[in-house]
Structure 1
């Protein structure tokens, strides 16, 4: 989506004279902020000190909470204002107002307005605690103090560039709602099984060829196998938690309606509309995270260690903004002493540690979205036999340099109708095959984040948490997105807590499961959500017997235990590898330290390779040329370093296996990305060499089997790497094809003129790892490229014995200004697995300080 916006903008930026003018040195350096000396910041009660270390990471020290957050707003605006402004334009559906008459920007605005993210954020304001409101307002005041008396060119060079093609006015003042709305973007990208639910319905359109609905559903479910509990341990065992068993889901639902052409079109339209929203945090199988915590019984210091590395979208600047927020003295008016990773645009710290407790987050993947298929007739929809009025509202999209666009947003009791969100897709939701007496099909989205909640309160509760009870209270507020929380305390405890608003669904008899894994019939209220799981019933554990907790997007609980969260998890290959590596250290009698934790974060061993290579080596090849590739696999240790020829060949083979086996079975939008779901699918098919899924249905009169697919993949991969790298396998290296090309969200992409692109977009970096590997440097097997799409957006290891021994790194740097030395100064260290010292105590901060800025009242 972002590249389409970029391509359209690029057309407006090709004049050589403009390029030279825009990128004069003075224009690039003009927005760089003062980081030394003294400046006035109106509204402060007392002076605030901002020190920055060698990486430019700011630590703010103040006398009151309000001064802390006012200063944080000022510092975020110094370093990242264009990123903040871009984010608020996306979350409020105003991209076209920023970048102009770009069709993909208008599409994104249309879909975001259909969601109503900004409107929900405005409703949440009235629910927030008074303290939260004052913190958000203080933060906004700090941002606005920086904006005052600065023109756009002094805030960010991006405005100077955009000013060559669109009108750029002074940015509007920051509003606290701008911060709250960002939480909706975070929740959207981390929303759980949304893709699997749509994927099942779309796969049914190609695989559902039988007259028996149950048989068709069973064929589709082969592509969504059950979590392998026998090999990959859930986060918690049955012995570690208490709670009621999950409800038995006998559920079923849409039945024969799934095969209708009108429904097919409506679901495809909904998918296309939702894909129009820019990726701001990260999506897909590789967008997970690793986190784990080890108790003091296994560590060198005798105190816990905690590691976290969220796998998200990678861009320039990075998603995270490192920061420390410190009260000079803990008083009733000054209650924070916290350091970690923040979002530019929101006060506080999202992941990190304070003086008592460290916490990490990974995506839990709970099912918090449901698609409801609605029977729509004109401006009414069918509900329990009655035609109810559709809620209709109008939204105006302002287009910079073009005419305003008025759109109509329609919603049912279940949520907005996403299938008619984009005007050019509306005709696809009605076909001549529809029975007009029952209306045509539309698809509504119900999502927990569209109900106003208290997630903003939770951020500050985490920042001040001291123990498991505080984490539980914070988790009860952290409604979206549903995240796994691991934590450790300086007095020696470790724990896990699941938060989030998790819908409760009815069991309904029928042919298709009604557990949330398939779209639901909106015309029958039996399928409506029945409330939410009580926060007291959410899974948790404190100080498990084995002294290890690993949360890496795998199943939270064994099947049938505790509340029903979802059936769609990451399949546990990363979590199982982390647990194995930790256990190896323990069994060998070695005490774990921060270096060990960092080494595990960099582990690049491939469970895919270990599983599939033995079968690939069984294939008999009659061509010496192809044998050269196969021989690489015979000696492979399954590690995926940048210099590994075998890793390059195996991943090329894997991509070809997925294409040959499944592209004919699923719609183009569902082509396998290559993640753990598809490894589990293939594992299920290896012992069934004549399963119809191996057959290429496009080759009429020929029925392919497993061995033919595997042999052909070995040959194709040999030819592809010969063409791309070299005829000699000795010249192959995984890093030569597996590279990260960081892109600016607006001025990135290959269509941007070279001078501009070279300034905003760091050069390509060779990387190890891969999808479902601990060092999860993800790539998309359906894209025809090994280019990196997601990865560890940051890495942190917290030592609860001595917080100053903790380490951290982010993918780019602290600054959003391309002319700053801190724009991408952490990139090389991140790529090679290095981390930096993370000073926390006042003494450590003073020792590491290289710049000092004093903010005066």
Structure 2
């Protein structure tokens, strides 16, 4: 049968053939031409708009990085040399000029990030971004803490020279801002100006820098989450023994602590016993009103934006190897802090070098700084290298307070609550006023969010009469001298200098590993650590549970003497690994914490190091880098044998399980078994624990989760395996494991492909970097596509040495935290050291250095780290001279 000829203009009306293409009839052709023309015009206009936005708006804030620049207030000329990654090395003839130039350069590169951080830390985020509930909630919590107030008090405590450095830095920032409108400072102001009123940024104040230390301390605060979670899970389980199963003790035999107690110079001691029985602490935590108050506190405090990192994945790796085991005969030091990942990155690489070291110019240091604070936090100078990891010391306690008529109970006395009014100015919205209440333990944090107060049956600005609230004791709310410690570390030359700096490094409590140019390696624990009495009762009094605020026996009695903090120099083993595991066994340092990372990463690093140095082997820079990238999974080692013992039948369901049979437990981006296993693991956690804990406690898949599941595997009929939601059924281990395997096969089929050969970990485990203000879904897609780098498939995972973490409770395998930078320092040749950060040194999306390090970081590559004058000169791509 032949095809009918197409209709002519006289045979059909335009549009009569609904199934024809655009050339089916002339009338339709005209319509399609009109549509095509309109679309073309729209596309052209859009392209023009994007081009104008890209060329004019985006590029306008890019700074001058070459030639001569005038900077009033300098004492002498300053040279700023930038390498191929745009990393600045600043050379000056005085400390004042070094830090003034650093302020100027960091304002050039990242002022909006600095401005955003100071709005967060002062509780003024809504002034910057407008009438957004999340911003207002964050401001309420930050104002309740009073971070800015504490920073103002610290200004009076820090040394005169630290104040001078902070003032010089602020002077440099303000010199850059002078005469520039917002559009010339950062594109973020231009975009925000489409939604809210954007005023000229306020001058930078030295207090803005000090307040940043409070945010750093908050995100790295220790066992805060575990303490709340114990109480909240007790409200569900009503059984201390079951709660203890969810929080097993650290296994010091399986996972070696940082220090051998016999080798350390000092240990914490002197617990004060108070053996009187406590009758009502357990009953208090079982009370529904107390549970509501604790949940309110948990939800409210989670509103603070993550600026550094939070959760179990906010750990870090560091280790140092003595020269007897290295190729150069001098120590090697590695560090990679696992923190929040965003665009721009947390760290700003910088070199600060005096042209001549002397009384007026005392620094020759290079490393990683925070935009907004002068100096270097992690790095090396010409005598010493140091790395930091979160020690996780218990520096916070929640106190359940009994309140009535504006007072709180303490022993037999009712004490008036301290109160102060706060007002949040909302850009484009109505101001919000509220009252902050404080006890002698700290600010009342339950009920900070107005929408949560209903759960406590109290108005938003009131304390309940005859009710319960929760206050927070936190060492960072006591003014301290951490700012002094930053500069002391930058000039440290030996173990004594590190110990002296550690006495000042009060919050956050960090493990310090270090190595010196003359061959020593060491470890030092700093931090302001509370001393708690031992009180006998139904619940521990060691800080692992919330405390009854009405009983003075639970109050802190002081702080551990800095001289008693653990430390070691040149251990016999020849290396030190500090990766958030226990510092020492509990008996040797009872006041540090009970809640460590469980040590899977640290033990793997130890195993790899021992393999490198066995039989006289020597470690080089490349070996240290290789260890940093290790993606072997301890989860797989623990679970795969049990998973392979489960009968899931044949065919479709067995396809995934078969991948596990020959798996080497590596989690590279191309690994199909790693992708399948991750789905199995998240299913195990959901099926086992979601029915036993409140939603806020659903396990993210941390080292704690692995420690719990390892124990449960030995108890097939443990009641935690049972799903409480299936009435009349009692599930056991093997049923849960089978369901997890089968569901994971279906999940990978839906997300990736029906064929297991198409699966790959990097296809689902992706890093999606997001700008803190312009990167979210409420921002137009064209802007998001500019400020958010493209997604990157990643290896690794939680509690893996290459700790690119993900949240097993989130319903996605997307990266939540990871190595925010990697560095390896060679004390035998500092110019042979290497470094990389997750994005780049610039905060300007139009800059080539906004994310030029991302690909190298993701694939495990690093860059040369020039330090000597000749190396810096040789690496320089741009050079600017700042003149008075």
TM range, smaller chain: over 0.9
Decide which of 505, 509, 524 is 1:478's aligned counterpart. Answer: 505
- Alignment of 1:496 with 2:523, yes or no, is yes
Which residue is equivalent to 1:749?
776
Residues of 2 paired with 1:232 and 1:682: CA distance? 16
- Alignment of 1:647 with 2:674, yes or no, is yes
Which residue is equivalent to 1:843?
870
Which residue is equivalent to 2:286?
259
Three-state SS of the structure 2 residue aligned to 1:692 is coil
Give a deviation string over 1:749-808, Cα, whole Å, max 9, x none: 344322101110000000000000000000000000000000000000000011000000
Q: Is the 8 A contact 1:813 1:824 kept in 2?
A: yes
TM-fit CA distance, 1:668: 0.2
Question: Structure 2: any 5+ residue segments left out of the alignment?
Answer: 1-44
Decide which of 152, 156, 166 is 1:122's aligned counterpart. Answer: 152
- Alignment of 1:810 with 2:833, yes or no, is no
TM-fit CA distance, 1:384: 1.1
Which residue is equivalent to 2:703?
676
Residues of 2 paired with 1:662 and 1:158: CA distance? 42
- In structure 2, do the counterparts of structure 1 residues 461 and 691 end up closer, same or farther at CA, with 3 Å as the change threshold? same
- In structure 2, do the counterparts of structure 1 residues 267 and 616 end up closer, same or farther at CA, with 3 Å as the change threshold? same
Q: Is the 8 A contact 1:315 1:743 kept in 2?
A: yes
Q: How many residues align?
A: 833
Three-state SS of the structure 2 residue aligned to 1:23 is helix
Three-state SS of the structure 2 residue aligned to 1:234 is coil
Give a deviation string over 1:138-193, Cα, whole Å, max 9, x none: 00000000000000000000000000010111100000000000000000000000
Three-state SS of the structure 1 residue aligned to 2:720 is helix
Summarize the alignment of residues 538-687 of structure 1 with structure 2, pairs less than 5 Å apart.
538-687=565-714
Which residue is equivalent to 1:776?
803
- In structure 2, do the counterparts of structure 1 residues 856 and 438 end up closer, same or farther at CA, with 3 Å as the change threshold? closer
Three-state SS of the structure 1 residue aligned to 2:676 is helix
Three-state SS of the structure 2 residue aligned to 1:39 is strand
Which residue is equivalent to 1:72?
102
Residues of 2 paired with 1:443 and 1:810: CA distance? 39
Summarize the alignment of residues 54-93 of structure 1 with structure 2, pairs less than 5 Å apart.
54-93=84-123
Three-state SS of the structure 1 residue aligned to 2:422 is strand
Residues of 1 paired with 2:555 and 2:293: CA distance? 20
- Alignment of 1:239 with 2:262, yes or no, is yes
Decide which of 66, 70, 77 is 1:40's aligned counterpart. Answer: 70
- Alignment of 1:447 with 2:474, yes or no, is yes
How does the TM-score come out when normalised to structure 1?
0.96
Decide which of 208, 222, 232 is 2:245's aligned counterpart. Answer: 222
| Higher mean C-alpha deviation, range 559-568 or range 180-189 | 559-568
Q: Is the 8 A contact 1:504 1:531 kept in 2?
A: yes
Residues of 1 paired with 2:458 and 2:423: CA distance? 29
- Alignment of 1:187 with 2:217, yes or no, is yes
TM-fit CA distance, 1:20: 4.9
Residues of 1 paired with 2:778 and 2:688: CA distance? 34
Residues of 1 paired with 2:545 and 2:590: CA distance? 19
Three-state SS of the structure 2 residue aligned to 1:660 is helix
Residues of 2 paired with 1:24 and 1:67: CA distance? 35
Decide which of 546, 550, 563 is 1:536's aligned counterpart. Answer: 563
Residues of 1 paired with 2:47 and 2:234: CA distance? 54
Summarize the alignment of residues 820-839 of structure 1 with structure 2, pairs less than 5 Å apart.
820-839=847-866
- Alignment of 1:107 with 2:137, yes or no, is yes
Residues of 1 paired with 2:418 and 2:309: CA distance? 31
Which residue is equivalent to 2:384?
357
Decide which of 154, 169, 179 is 1:149's aligned counterpart. Answer: 179
- In structure 2, do the counterparts of structure 1 residues 19 and 508 end up closer, same or farther at CA, with 3 Å as the change threshold? farther
Residues of 1 paired with 2:281 and 2:422: CA distance? 32
Residues of 2 paired with 1:422 and 1:438: CA distance? 18
Summarize the alignment of residues 391-430 of structure 1 with structure 2, pairs less than 5 Å apart.
391-430=418-457
Which residue is equivalent to 2:193?
163
Give a deviation string over 1:252-293, Cα, whole Å, max 9, x none: 772111111100110010001000000010111111000000
Residues of 1 paired with 2:589 and 2:215: CA distance? 29
Q: Is the 8 A contact 1:48 1:854 kept in 2?
A: yes
Three-state SS of the structure 1 residue aligned to 2:801 is coil
Decide which of 281, 293, 306 is 2:308's aligned counterpart. Answer: 281
TM-fit CA distance, 1:740: 0.2
Q: Is the 8 A contact 2:54 2:846 kept in 1?
A: no
Give a deviation string over 1:188-238, Cα, whole Å, max 9, x none: 000000000000011011111xxxxxxx11110110000011110000012
Q: Is the 8 A contact 2:271 2:532 kept in 1?
A: no
Q: Is the 8 A contact 1:89 1:98 kept in 2?
A: yes
Which residue is equivalent to 1:52?
82
Three-state SS of the structure 2 residue aligned to 1:181 is helix
Give a deviation string over 1:421-441, Cα, whole Å, max 9, x none: 122222323489xxx998201
Q: Is the 8 A contact 2:340 2:817 kept in 1?
A: yes
Q: Provide the alpha-carbon RMSD of the alignment.
A: 1.7
- Alignment of 1:97 with 2:121, yes or no, is no
- In structure 2, do the counterparts of structure 1 residues 605 and 233 end up closer, same or farther at CA, with 3 Å as the change threshold? same
Give a deviation string over 1:619-640, Cα, whole Å, max 9, x none: 1122421111111101100000
How does the TM-score come out when normalised to structure 2?
0.93
Summarize the alignment of residues 683-694 of structure 1 with structure 2, pairs less than 5 Å apart.
683-694=710-721
Residues of 1 paired with 2:479 and 2:170: CA distance? 21
Residues of 2 paired with 1:131 and 1:244: CA distance? 32
| Higher mean C-alpha deviation, range 417-426 or range 297-306 | 417-426
- In structure 2, do the counterparts of structure 1 residues 257 and 145 end up closer, same or farther at CA, with 3 Å as the change threshold? same
Residues of 2 paired with 1:79 and 1:438: CA distance? 52
- Alignment of 1:302 with 2:329, yes or no, is yes
- In structure 2, do the counterparts of structure 1 residues 806 and 256 end up closer, same or farther at CA, with 3 Å as the change threshold? same
Question: Structure 1: any 5+ residue segments left out of the alignment?
Answer: 1-14, 209-215
Q: Is the 8 A contact 1:254 1:519 kept in 2?
A: no
- In structure 2, do the counterparts of structure 1 residues 257 and 593 end up closer, same or farther at CA, with 3 Å as the change threshold? same
Residues of 2 paired with 1:18 and 1:148: CA distance? 32
Summarize the alignment of residues 322-333 of structure 1 with structure 2, pairs less than 5 Å apart.
322-333=349-360
TM-fit CA distance, 1:245: 4.7
Which residue is equivalent to 1:203?
233
Which residue is equivalent to 1:3?
none
Q: Is the 8 A contact 2:255 2:599 kept in 1?
A: yes
Three-state SS of the structure 1 residue aligned to 2:262 is helix
Q: Is the 8 A contact 1:19 1:755 kept in 2?
A: no
Which residue is equivalent to 1:312?
339
Q: Is the 8 A contact 1:23 1:756 kept in 2?
A: no
TM-fit CA distance, 1:24: 4.3
Three-state SS of the structure 2 residue aligned to 1:268 is helix
Residues of 2 paired with 1:476 and 1:271: CA distance? 31
Which residue is equivalent to 1:136?
166
Residues of 1 paired with 2:637 and 2:270: CA distance? 34
Three-state SS of the structure 1 residue aligned to 2:582 is coil
Q: Is the 8 A contact 1:362 1:553 kept in 2?
A: yes
Residues of 2 paired with 1:643 and 1:290: CA distance? 24
- In structure 2, do the counterparts of structure 1 residues 235 and 248 end up closer, same or farther at CA, with 3 Å as the change threshold? farther
